[in-house]
Chain A
Amino acid sequence: MVRLIARRLVISVAVLWLVTLLVFVATLLLPGDPARAILGQQATPERIAALHAQLGLDAPVWERYLNWLGGVVTGDLGTSTASQGPVAELLGGRIAASLVLLVLAAVISTAAGLALGTWTALRRGRRADHAVSGASLVVAALPEFVIGVALVVLLSTTVFPLLPSVTLAPPGEPVWSRPSQLVLPVLTLVLVVAPYITRMMRATMSEVLDSGYVEMARLKGIPERLVITRHALPHAIGPVAQVIAIQLAWLAGGVVVVEFLFRYPGVGQALIDAVNNRDVEVVQAITLLIAAVYIVVNLLADIVGILTNPKLRSEVSR
């Protein structure tokens, strides 16, 4: 098992390295010149050349890549071209704010999806099952900005004006100090992600409930609660973990749109600002961060898959 997990780890690191290459090349291809973006249209060629030298933009591409990669590995994400401050400092608060959003959405949607999927699988063919299946299909079909706008209309403007529709974060005060303004962004993300998890859980759980070992557990006289938690759930979790991983990885990217919609001061907002300002260093850092979330989440799903499958667990090598 350790070897299997170690292999996955090595693959993850390799993928992450490939991503750094892609990110670097992509920012090279970004139109516009950072020096010109900083100095404005009136700058003289001499000043631009001087700034190029100062920013290291004259060095060959591979040297710039290695310098940047070395910085990333040692935790130095570079200096923001737009604000002239260190990127890490600039993003610190943003990352924390986005993480709060992501973790809340991930925990709630996973728990709700698994519970709802299991519950409907146990009531297959009954009215509750049809209702949940229909509703989840409808919600799953809606893009996140439609859900977000619908929630704003429903809960913060005309119908029930209960919650704030935009996030007001005075400098120096973390967003979570006013929990009510987290509700709508989190709810939007949950509504986007949970239906997939619910549907997948229902399908997998239905299959597991029809399996020989679940019937056998019932015929052994095991209490129904234990039949579900001990015999059925562990087998359903493995395949569903993959879907959860894809959904959570999507969250890392989907957060950009949702943060924009609710004016939430997270990395998504920062990314949009950075792209507008040609702030290459920040764009690189955020893209890499989102990619890293993708990879880590998928790695976790693989590990869950391995842990819930004793055949893989005891396999010496593959």
Chain B
Amino acid sequence: MTTQVAVRHALVVADLRVETVTGTPVLRGVSYEIAPGEVLALVGESGSGKTTAGLAALGHFRRGLVPAGGTVTACPRDGDPVPMLELDERQRRSLRGTTVAYIPQDPALSLNPALRVGRQIAEVLEAHGYGASGAERAARVAEVLTEVGLPGDEAYQRRYPHELSGGQQQRVGIAMAFACRPSVVVLDEPTTGLDVTTQTLVLRTVAQLTAEHGVAALYITHDLAVVASIADRVAVMLGGEIVEAGTAEEVLRRPQHTYTRELIDAVPDLDGGGEQARRAPEGSATPALAVRELSVAFGGSPVLRHVGLTVGEGECLLLLGESGSGKTTLSRCVAGLNDRYTGTVALDGRPLAASTRRRTAEELRAVQYVFQSPYSSLNPRRTIAQSVEVPLEMLTDLDRAQRRERVAATLERVRLDPALAGRLPDQLSGGERQRAAIARALVTTPRVLLCDEVTSALDVSVQATIIDLLCELREELGTAMLFVTHNIALARHIADRIAVLQGGEIVESGPVDEVLTDPAHPYTRELLANTPRM
């Protein structure tokens, strides 16, 4: 790496090695460089070391990690390149926020809940002696808030983080990073957890700011669809190494490495899927699940208003909605976990009691639930086989041997290695855990399976395998499925019909192809327009 290259680039990372204090390598020689005004996307799955590689650009290593070689060279706006890793902690601190700034993954956790947002931005300016006077700094706070599309006035600055929405919090985070006019920003999955409309807004803000101010951006993400919409160049990480790098066009259209190809294939696409043989809804037969006029109110404010939907045998209905739309409340009502509703939930034409306590064992067996996070829905002290056996113990008269047999058969059905049956959940990967959770739901051969955001806690490639599994199971068993999600891109991959839930009401429903090609409601059109495509 010659000095000349280093001068041209705002950030040069060469052969960076990081290991844990016990000597296990985390990064095995990572190299990348970013020019001013350029966006480099660092793509990889959880555990690939991408966040470690990003934080190293600020000379920061999390607890238990130590640098083991390589260089990080950052170039301030006006000045000579500085070797980040050779500086002491004091000197690194003076570069953080001024030369290299960081935008965190979850703004709700990263903003100090007890400080007003204006104060948190002003604090960066004060720490680095930006501007000559307090008035000048106050003006800069207002200016940078306006730049990210927020009101810069005094009243807004006096708000606390909990008084802002997720998207606004993230833009405060961006304002904080851009306040001192850094030459490099590191964005660590800044749109994970935001709904698509907000995500589009945040991505646009980032793209605009980096281009306008000639800032080099390192954009860390696992979402290749987002990469396509923001990045100039892409580097793909696997097991602490960059396995492929190039322009976004090259990497996304002509991937060389098999891992990159797998990642790209796994991305759910609005236009993709298709291979799923969709059956025509059978109008005559009684639907397996019918919800009529269902309304719920929490403390006087309505959460669901007169919701009605049906799911036929072997059919999959995608219930689409953003956070706060009431989609989880709806599925909890169907499952009997929330009994304070009006309206009816009918199974094969027979109304169900509101609460699980008053449903018969047969009815309980017939409606099963898979939760969002496989990390918290499995009892950490029970082995997988024990967890899967619980519904059989509670709801059937099978003896021990028969139960064991059923458990083994179900685990095989969800393609879970029999060797894992005796393990505890924390010895399994996220995907394996979610398979176990699905097995637990399927072990009673339910008529209706409720899947509540079952893939949103998982990596993209794991998501693809879970979706495939659910599709196959539906084919084989003829289970009616209510698939609750915020991700419209999954529609063609799993569902026959879509119901769009907004503010507690179903604003649109119909066959997948119809809704995606010719959306009737403006909200659906907005969602489609904001969903990033490859």
Contact = CB atoms under 8 A, between A and B. Distances in A.
A221 B114 contact: no
A212 B109 contact: yes
A224 to B, nearest CB: 8
B94 interface: yes
A237 B96 CA distance: 28
Contacts of A309: 113-114
Contacts of A230: 115, 123
A213 B160 contact: no
B113 A221 contact: no
Given A213-B111, A215-B110, A221 B94 contact: yes
Chain A interface residue bracket vs B: 20 to 34
A67 interface: no
Interface residues of B, number: 30
B314 to A, nearest CB: 44
B346 to A, nearest CB: 39
A218 B63 CA distance: 13
A34 to B, nearest CB: 55
Nearest to B105: A212
Contacts of B110: 212-213, 215-216
Given A212-B106, A212-B109, A310 B162 contact: yes
Contacts of A314: 160, 163
B74 to A, nearest CB: 13
B127 A222 contact: yes
A246 B109 CA distance: 30
Nearest to B98: A221
A312 to B, nearest CB: 11
Nearest to A124: B63
Contacts of A310: 113-114, 160, 162
B112 A226 contact: no
Contacts of B93: 218, 221-224
Nearest to B112: A213
A235 interface: yes
B440 to A, nearest CB: 32
A254 to B, nearest CB: 33
A84 to B, nearest CB: 56
B183 to A, nearest CB: 14
B113 A213 contact: yes
B60 interface: yes
Interface in B300-319: none
Contact of B162 (A219, A221, A311): A311
Contacts of A212: 104, 106, 109-110
A234 interface: yes
Given A210-B63, A212-B106, A311-B162, A222 B112 contact: no
B60 A221 contact: no
B97 interface: yes
A299 to B, nearest CB: 21
Interface in A289-318: 308-311, 314
Contacts of B163: 314
B128 A221 contact: yes
B58 interface: yes
Contacts of B128: 221
Interface in B56-73: 58, 60, 62-63
A231 B124 CA distance: 13
A98 B114 CA distance: 37
B156 to A, nearest CB: 15
Interface in B102-144: 102, 104, 106, 109-115, 123-124, 127-128
A112 to B, nearest CB: 25
Contacts of B63: 210
Contacts of A223: 93, 127
A220 B110 CA distance: 11
A220 to B, nearest CB: 4
A211 interface: yes
B13 interface: no
A169 interface: no
Interface string A194-235: 000000000000000011110111111111101000110011
A217 B112 contact: yes
A288 B80 CA distance: 72
A219 B60 CA distance: 8
B294 interface: no
B176 interface: yes
Given A311-B162, A314-B163, A219 B113 contact: no
Interface in B23-62: 55, 58, 60, 62
A216 B162 contact: no
B174 interface: no
B96 A216 contact: no
B95 interface: yes
Nearest to A210: B63
Contacts of B96: 218-221
Contacts of A216: 102, 104, 110-112
A219 B102 CA distance: 7
Interface string A43-57: 000000000000000
Contacts of B97: 219-222
Nearest to A217: B112
Contacts of A231: 112, 115
A311 B113 CA distance: 8
A107 B447 CA distance: 65
A217 B93 CA distance: 10
A220 B124 CA distance: 6
Contacts of B160: 310-311, 314
Interface string B214-242: 00000000000000000000000000000
A260 to B, nearest CB: 43
A219 B123 CA distance: 12
Nearest to A212: B109
Nearest to B179: A220
A222 B123 CA distance: 8
B60 A213 contact: no
A219 B109 contact: no
A217 B123 CA distance: 9
Q: Which of B95, B113, B114 has the most CB of A within 10 A?
A: B114
A248 B58 CA distance: 44
Contacts of B104: 212, 215-216, 219
A281 to B, nearest CB: 48
Nearest to B180: A221
Interface string B349-384: 000000000000000000000000000000000000
Contacts of B162: 310-311
Q: Which of B104, B110, B160, B162 has the most CB of A within 10 A?
A: B110
A210 B112 CA distance: 13
Contacts of A308: 114
A220 B123 contact: yes
B127 A221 contact: yes
B109 A213 contact: yes
B111 to A, nearest CB: 6
Contact of A211 (B60, B102, B109, B127): B109
Given A221-B97, A235-B112, 18 more contacts: A210-B63, A212-B104, A216-B110, A216-B112, A219-B60, A219-B96, A220-B96, A220-B124, A221-B98, A221-B128, A222-B93, A223-B93, A223-B127, A224-B93, A231-B112, A231-B115, A235-B114, A309-B113
Interface of A: 210-213, 215-224, 226, 230-231, 234-235, 308-311, 314
17 contacts: A211-B109, A213-B109, A215-B104, A216-B102, A216-B111, A216-B112, A217-B123, A218-B60, A219-B60, A220-B101, A220-B102, A220-B176, A221-B127, A226-B123, A310-B114, A310-B162, A311-B162
Closest 6 A/B residue pairs (Cβ) = A212-B109, A221-B97, A221-B96, A212-B110, A219-B102, A216-B110
